[in-house]
Amino acid sequence: MIPIFAIVPLLAGAFISLAMARKATYVKHVAIASSIASLAVVLYMALYPGVVNSMTWFSLGGATANFVTSTAPLNLLLLVIVALMTPLILVYSSGYMKVSSEQPRYYFLICLFAASMMLFAISASFLTLMVAWEMLGITSYLLIGFWYWKESASQAARKAITTILAGDLAMLSALILIFHAYNSLDFSVVLHAPASPALYAALVLISVAAFTKSAQFPLNEWLADAMEGPTPVSAFLHSSTMVKAGVFLVLVLFPLYKEASLLGLFLVAGSATAIIGALNALSEKHIKRILAYSTMEDLGLMFVAIGLGSVVAALLLFVVQTFYKALLFMSSGIMMEANDGRTDITSIYWDGSGKLLMGATLVGVLSLAALFPLGGFFGKAAVDASSNTLPMYALLLVVQFVSVIYIFRWFFIPLHRTPNVSETDVGIGYKTIPLSMLSPVLLLAIFAALSSLTYLYLPGYLGFHPVAISFGEWVAVTATIAAGGYLANFLYRRNVPARARAKTANGFFNRVAYSSPYINMFYMLLVRILFSAAAAVSAFDGLLGSAVGYATGLSIKAAYLLRRAEDGQTNVYIIAMVVGMIAIVAIFYL
């Protein structure tokens, strides 16, 4: 089966959803059915991996542009993840999205985004990838700003698309360099091409594009603001699919980066992003933004693993993070729903009802904290085990220690908060959670628990050697979890006086750790510098235009004077000739 067939049901579902504006009640059923059909196609393709299909798109100047797709094992891995997550997101959305007038647009965008992500997963050429890359960008922009009447959502969408477009320009420049150097955009050609300065420059530009898509420092702040979108969008785009596009692209091109000795670039950027993400999550109060900063940390750790040369460790975390992060985002959506839309964890209350939800959420919390034997343990322990120096290993353990504290803080504060007398509506919705929202959370909890099997089977499936996690590594990670959990329990449970909790929440450390305002100030400074440079160029352009205009005026006046001398009188011409001859002789003489 041709790989492109995987996206056909979703594309059909997207346009059918858009056409059913007058029958919005049935739109969600069409979207869910199309996602299940797409999943069935993908699972069938997984039985026959390694299919490559090339279709001629157009020819220009003797060069042929081919639309190339592949179901190689690495492509299938991402394809299955997206196909599996799409119906879960759509089922959850059927209980979440209650505004019937917005449902056709919403389901159209979700299905179109899923189709774009699948196309990206099966791309086997830069041309195919660029098409999917741009579709991901525009659908992300539309989904982040879905509540377009909210100023904060519109600003977040503009911020996201502006950052991503900067990477798109870098990607386009890289494609031009690659095509000029090798006369091809197929991965099979480029991966076996001889090294050249053009390829080196193209790889650096692709790194910039990957950093924008995967929210790496200093291009990271758009991801937290993207939480203004609907919660299923946060769970789908910004935890388990789109933000991993940059990581996946670098993994595909890993042999080239290794040969060009550029892996250190990912190690530095990933380390900085992991630290910044963990510290921001520790000091943030918005229930979804905490998870967004946590996603930044996870993506940073994936790049750290790539920088250390461990593709297997990066892929292990790539897979297991999908399930526990989507689970936590969906749980946060239910918690917000049960608390009248509140987003501040200090204003959200969980009265202990909804035992299934609490248990599923706890699985996600413990998996993010890397508790053995959940999948998160194997993903993060594999990254730790890949470190080749003691300082790097210590840094990874510190990041993990902070992540344990902030995720238990995220869980403990709503669970052990005592609501004020005036807050009569907090926590009243847990007993009426729709099954359509609860069932995907429960399934994701099962997937998060079973994702530990990835450690056993993924390396062999991809043809890599497994990452050895020693007993000492297990002890170090477990001790880190125990210490972080104990400290979080001490700081954020209700047996600590309210004044002490307030002091902890608003202390000097939190003000320093919350770097989001400083990064945004850096953006503003950069924009002002660019505006100043643009103003200087504009002023120079104005001066140059004025100078050209003045010279033109002088030429016109000179031409007018010369024209007056052409009056048809022979004596005037003779005098002019004699004067000119005298001038020429004088010049030569001098």
pLDDT of residue 353: 67
Let me know whether 473 and 333 are in one domain: yes
In a domain, 230, yes or no: no
pLDDT in tens, 207-219: 999 999 988 888 8
Let me know whether 446 and 370 are in one domain: yes
**Per-residue CA distances from 17 to 23, 108, 281 (Å):** 9, 6, 37
Instruction: Quote the number of domains for the chain.
Output: 3
CA 77 to chain centre: 18
461 pLDDT exceeds 90? no
What mean pLDDT is predicted for residues 404-424?
Answer: 74
Last residue of a domain, one of 464, 489, 514: 514
pLDDT in tens, 304-341: 999 998 889 999 999 999 999 999 999 998 888 888 77
**DSSP bridge pairs for 64:** 59
pLDDT in tens, 92-114: 988 888 877 788 888 889 999 99
Rounded to whole angstroms, how far apart are CA atoms 166 and 205? 11
CA 6 to chain centre: 23
In a domain, 381, yes or no: yes
Query: How is residue 549 annotated by DSSP?
Result: H
Q: Copy the structure tokens of residue 446.
A: 């099962």
Let me know whether 13 and 84 are in one domain: yes
Q: What is the DSSP string of 58-110?
A: EEETTEEEEEEEE--HHHHHHHHHHHHHHHHHHHHHHHH---GGGHHHHHHHH
**DSSP bridge pairs for 186:** 125
Q: What are phi and psi of 444, to 5 degrees?
A: -65, -35
Last residue of a domain, one of 447, 481, 514: 514
Rounded to whole angstroms, how far apart are CA atoms 446 and 410? 21
Which domain, by its residues, includes 92?
Answer: 1-53+62-124
Closest residue by Cα to residue 97 from 236, 245, 224, 286:
236
pTM higher than the cut 0.75: yes
Let me know whether 482 and 549 are in one domain: no
Closest residue by Cα to residue 305 from 365, 238, 381:
381
Let me know whether 456 and 538 are in one domain: no
Let me know whether 384 and 269 are in one domain: yes
More confident residue, 324 or 1: 324
Q: What are phi and psi of 53, to 5 degrees?
A: -130, 135
pLDDT in tens, 555-576: 888 888 777 777 777 777 788 8
In a domain, 563, yes or no: yes
In a domain, 388, yes or no: yes
pLDDT of residue 422: 54
Contact 488, 412 (CB under 8 A): yes
Let me know whether 382 and 481 are in one domain: yes
Three-point CA angle 145, 150, 155, nearest 5°: 55
Q: Copy the structure tokens of residue 259.
A: 């040969």
In a domain, 192, yes or no: no
Closest residue by Cα to residue 246 from 202, 209, 195:
209
Provide the 10 A C-beta neighbour count for residue 173: 16
Contact 393, 387 (CB under 8 A): yes
Closest residue by Cα to residue 248 from 16, 75, 428, 65:
75
pLDDT of residue 50: 84
Rounded to whole angstroms, how far apart are CA atoms 339 and 352? 13
Let me know whether 341 and 475 are in one domain: yes
Let me know whether 558 and 472 are in one domain: no
In a domain, 140, yes or no: no
Let me know whether 42 and 93 are in one domain: yes
Q: Copy the structure tokens of residue 238.
A: 């910004």
In a domain, 138, yes or no: no
260 pLDDT exceeds 90? no
- Helix, strand, coil percentages (3-state) for the chain, rounded to 5, are 75, 5, 20
More confident residue, 291 or 500: 291
Q: Which helix (H) or strand (E) holds 453?
A: none
Contact 274, 387 (CB under 8 A): no
Q: Which helix (H) or strand (E) holds 400?
A: helix 390-415
Let me know whether 506 and 529 are in one domain: no
Last residue of a domain, one of 489, 514, 539: 514
In a domain, 28, yes or no: yes
pLDDT in tens, 337-379: 888 778 888 888 876 667 888 889 999 999 999 888 888 899 8
**Per-residue CA distances from 291 to 227, 294, 516 (Å):** 9, 5, 14
Let me know whether 575 and 462 are in one domain: no
Q: Which helix (H) or strand (E) holds 531?
A: helix 516-565
